[in-house]
Amino acid sequence: GQQLNQSPQSMFIQEGEDVSMNCTSSSIFNTWLWYKQDPGEGPVLLIALYKAGELTSNGRLTAQFGITRKDSFLNISASIPSDVGIYFCAGQSLNAGNNRKLIWGLGTSLAVNP
């Protein structure tokens, strides 16, 4: 099935560093969603973006909906050990039947060295 290009695939950083990851698509999306998944758990929604150019923050997390509507990035500032996990992006498009459909990236695995 269709998937987004999410990068980097993995990151290993020092506590306190900032982190940046992004997703790109060849298709236009109406919504971008960013999730975090801890081991053995389901993904948890971090940030939802609904408008091209929109910049939204959630604590130390900031995400932006690209103006071309084909990309989005997520930044984490001053990382802490509990930021460890897999981060997924998802884009939402309208398929031919006007039904919502989520397209997913393969995830960015983040490891934080205390």
Partner 1 sequence: KAGVTQTPRYLIKTRGQQVTLSCSPISGHRSVSWYQQTPGQGLQFLFEYFSETQRNKGNFPGRFSGRQFSNSRSEMNVSTLELGDSALYLCASSTVGTVLGEAFFGQGTRLTVV
* Interacting residues toward partner 1 by CB under 8 A: 1, 3, 30-31, 33, 35, 40-45, 48, 50, 88, 90, 92, 94-95, 97-102, 104-107
> DSSP string covering 41-67, please?
S--EEEEEE-STT-EEEETTEEEEE-T
CA 60 to CA 65: how far, in whole Å?
Answer: 17
User: What's the distance, CA 48 to chain centroid?
Assistant: 9
Beta pairing partners, 44: 36
Nearer to partner 1, 13 or 86 (CB): 86
CB of 23 to partner 1, least distance (A): 11
CB of 69 to partner 1, least distance (A): 13
User: What's the distance, CA 80 to chain centroid?
Assistant: 18
CB of 114 to partner 1, least distance (A): 25
Residue that has been written with the tokens 């940030």 in this structure: 47
CB of 16 to partner 1, least distance (A): 28
